[in-house]
Structure 1
Amino acid sequence: MEREAVTASPSSGSSGGELPQSDRVWTIPNILSMLRLAGVPLFLWLLLGPEEDVLAIVVLAVGGFTDWLDGKLARWLNQGSKLGAMLDPAADRLYILATLIAFGVRDILPWWVILALVGRELVLGLSLLVLRRYGYGTFEVHYTGKAATFVLLYAFPFLLAADGTSAVAEFVRPIAYGFTIWGVLLYLWAGVLYLVQLGAAIRKGKVGGALAGA
């Protein structure tokens, strides 16, 4: 028999109390998550193509708002779903990945910072395969992980505004660096906490397997 998930993402949006997760696909929160995912290539094109930073920030802001809204709607309408629990963190990670690639290409962020954050995602991706091997679901989305994503998504518009020599760029630059430093540290620390979950799941799986074979 398959074990229960290490946790289930509580909803299609934010952390908090757990919601019953159904197999429904066409719910309002899921549609919002799909629209947010559709905004990722547009966001990347705006940054690397015409370099329309203001429009890119608008797309990012809309994505951030719908990220908050779909979680609220999932609770208000009782529309938590398994698909939503996957779409929401996927959209967050794709926005972060797209931004990191664009910032690396445009020399807004040093590549070592980008590689550290991308490396974190690769490690967690491999960890999910290990969880599946032991019969578990996905990692629990904890407060630190959500806070890290929140801070990084705030840092990105400030970094764009700080890219230049204008008076506004000079004023915004310390704020941008502050958000970026805290966001990166929280993001990496959240990765460590997810690995702690992985270790606990593996230990529990080994004990359960030993008892089953006894």
Structure 2
Amino acid sequence: MSATTLHNMVMPMLEGAQMTILLFLIAIIVSVPLGFVLTLAVKSGSKPVAGLAHAYIYIMRGTPLLLQLLVICFGLPMLPVVGEYLVLDRFTAACVGFILNYAAYFAEIFRGGLLAIDKGQYEASQVLGFSKWQTTTRIILPQMFRVVLPSVSNESITLIKDTALLYAVAVPELLHYAQTAVNRDFTIVPFFIAGVIYLIMTLLLTTLFKWLERRFKFE
């Protein structure tokens, strides 16, 4: 394989990787706080709010992400009356789908983290005269963060790989350009290159979370 052919394969795929990274960043930045809000809703004293949050999490975790993407991209615009207002460009629709899906997973991770904190921590904060806000921000959240960090790391790695589903809704990301190169050059080499790029991205992400785990383990 000539250097020119290899260059023609790799450059478009790197361009597609930028789209992959952009989606990942948008999804992780929005879905993490949204997931925490869902956790608070589940633990709220309002039964209707908690019930709606539970139902949302169950639906989003119980149905395939690909199905959700297809509904948002192609199904919502077909709804009567309101459909014309729900037409989104493919990338925006994909971002919405990933955010809504992963928020449900992060909500369950955060809920598990809160359950892992000893109830004595709450009682001790009351004895020390901390307000509910101070207890949450100074005592509970830092401990929860340490507990959930490995799970958040695993879910983030899954997210970077799930971005390949953009291919199914015609968003030109890494896998799209790999498939284009395979069809054009009649070789499977682009698939291996795409695999290497995904491995590099997951390696960088894993390294980042390992560093965070080491840093917060001793603080």
The answer to whether TM tops 0.5 is no
TM-score by length of 1: 0.35
The structure number with the bigger radius of gyration is 2
TM-score by length of 2: 0.34
Between 1 and 2, higher relative CO (CA 8 Å, sep ≥ 6) is seen in 2
Which structure has the highest helix share of the two? 2
